[in-house]
Every structure is written in structure tokens, then in C-alpha cells.
Amino acid sequence: SAKETRGGTFCFFTSELRDAASKTAMLGERLRDAVDRGELKLAYQPLVDPLTNEVKCFEALLRWHDEDEGDISPAQFIPVAENDDLIIRIGEMALKQACMDALSWPDTIRVAVNVSAKQFIRPGYRKAVAAALQASGLPPGRLELEITESVFVGDLETVDAIFRDLKKLGVRLSLDDFGTGYSSLGYLKHGHFNKIKIDQSFVRGCTENGDTNPAIITAIVALAKALGMETVAEGVEAMDELELVKARGADLVQGYIFSRPITQDQVLAQFAEGSNMFRPSGPPRHRAE
């Protein structure tokens, strides 16, 4: 390999690193096979209005069950897919499937699809979104794309042009994991985003007892409101966290307190029962790990 021919570098390529690299390569191969066999599935987690308990949106989350390794988290396999073009195939598959699934939900409910920065900045992305909308017949306003701050490390003019193209299509844009990435507020001034998702790290375990997180949550909510954006508190698990983010004005809540990610069949079963409500249930206070 290239690394072995560069003799000088080879010395620093320790056996630990080599093990990690070959593990990643193996995971990549397994992932490619799983994609070929259609083994990647989507799960849906509700975004709930905490004042009414009504679901407003479901976020599509990839699920992969490997026979030998068990469940493998997207946090683990998405970065592997991003090493090559596999992310494009996976991303387009998730987009198509999510649009199709959402079409059988009540038409007031949106679907949110995660987009890898690498997929987002590729020239064909706008086309892929348009194709998924057309193939499914889903109205563009029911599709939300979740993007992280990491897209803004690229060429800003290119990124800006992609945003404008997507806006023209009529889809909604959501800024995921806000507050953890590339820290600049400059990208908010263009008004691209409809929604800000406050990262779980500010939400989980937050209390009113002198912790700094509630102030950060309040500030993000105020910033979002001033700019005409909705806010979502992510990762709410306990009753006291729910009360806190509600009091601090978060428009929507996503987290185990309302539901873990569920299958499309479970989503449909719930709507068939005539209910669009998710009731909070969880421990009274966050349990420290």
C-alpha cells in the first residue's frame, strides 16, 4: 500500500493504528454488502409539541443489524460510509424511503432526513432531493433536511448556492446538533434555516440548580425566535429535563421521554388507532451515569 512504500512514515504506523484501519476497512465491506442486500432500515422518532403532546414531525434514523456484530449505530457506520461514495447511495436510499413512508402519514406531519456534509456539498444533491420528492409525490414542504454545522467548513459560496437551490425546491432546512460544531453565527444571518435543534449535550442532565446549560438553552431559543426559527430540544429523557426545556420555551421536544425511534409499522399502527399523541414517560430526574 501507499503507506508501506513511504518507509519513513511506516515506523509511525503502529500496530494499533493498523488494527483500527483494518477494522474500518472490514466494516466498510460489511456495510457495502448490507446496502446491496437492502439490510439498512429506517426508524422514526417523533418530534413532539410539549404543550399538546402532538407529534409534528418524525426524524428518520438509519438502523443496521449485522448478524455477527448485532446492532451497529449510525454514529459508527456513517463516518465509514463517508470515506467513499457509499454515503451517496445510503443517503439517497434514506431520502427516497423516508419520502415514501411519510406519504402514508397524515398530511400535517413532516419527515426529517439527516444529510451528511459530504453528500450535501456534492453537485448532484439538489437533483437527488427533487427525484425523491417526485418519485414519492410528497409535497416539498413536508420534507425537512437536517444539516450539521460541519457543512460550513467548505467553500461558503458553494454552500450558499446549494441552500438557495434547496429553498427554491420548497423543502425545509433544520440545523442539527446546534452548538457543538463549527462555532460561528455568521451562517445564521442568511436565514436558510427553519429550525434549530439544540444539541443533546446542553439538554441531558440539565437542572435548575446552578448549572450553565439552562442559560444556554434560553439564549438559543431567544436567538432562534428573533430570527424566525423553531427550536427543538434533543435527547430529553427525564421529567425534570422536559419541564425545564418547556419552561425555557423550546417549541418541540425529541427524546426517549416521548418515544425511542420506532418502525414505520409502529407509526402506522398508532395513526390507525386515531392517535397523533405521544405521552411523556420517564424517570423523574436524570440519572447520572
Residues lying near ligand C2E in the complex (CB under 6 A) are found at 45, 61-62, 73-75, 78, 91, 94, 114-116, 146, 176-177, 235-237, 254-256, 261
* From 36-44, 81-89, 169-177, 278-286, span contacting Mg ion (CB under 5 A): 169-177
Whether residue 207 contacts residue 173, with contact meaning beta carbons closer than 8 Å, is answered with no
Question: Apex CA 80: angle with CA 193 and CA 74, to 5°?
Answer: 60
Q: Is residue 116 part of the contact set for Mg ion (CB under 5 A)? A: no
Q: Is residue 149 part of the contact set for Mg ion (CB under 5 A)? A: no
Between CA 176 and CA 232 the distance in angstroms is 9
Q: Is residue 177 part of the contact set for Mg ion (CB under 5 A)? A: yes
Q: Which is nearer to ligand C2E, 13 or 150 (CB)?
A: 150
Closest CB 117 distance from ligand C2E, rounded Å: 9
78 binds, among Mg ion, ligand C2E, none (CB under 5 to 8 A by kind): ligand C2E
Q: Is residue 54 part of the contact set for Mg ion (CB under 5 A)? A: no
User: Burial, 165: exposed, middle or buried (Cβ in 10 Å; 0-12, 13-18, 19+)?
Assistant: middle
Exposure string (b/e) for 10-40, b if CB count within 10 Å is 16 or more? eeeeeeeeeeeeeeeeebbebbbebbeeeeb
**What residues contact residue 194 under an 8 Å CB cut-off, 6+ apart?**
144, 172, 173, 174, 229, 230
Closest CB 31 distance from ligand C2E, rounded Å: 13
62 binds, among Mg ion, ligand C2E, none (CB under 5 to 8 A by kind): ligand C2E
Selected binder of Mg ion within 92, 101, 144, 146 (CB under 5 A):
146
Q: Which amino acid is at 165?
A: D
Q: Which alpha helices (DSSP H) does 12-155 contain, by range?
A: 15-36, 74-81, 86-102, 117-120, 125-136
Q: Is residue 270 part of the contact set for Mg ion (CB under 5 A)? A: no
Q: Is residue 150 part of the contact set for Mg ion (CB under 5 A)? A: no
The residue with cell 411519510 is 102
Whether residue 259 contacts residue 45, with contact meaning beta carbons closer than 8 Å, is answered with yes
Q: Which is nearer to ligand C2E, 112 or 221 (CB)?
A: 112
Q: Name the grid cell of 157.
A: 459560496
Closest CB 240 distance from ligand C2E, rounded Å: 13
* From 35-43, 66-74, 143-151, 165-173, span contacting Mg ion (CB under 5 A): 143-151
Closest CB 176 distance from Mg ion, rounded Å: 4
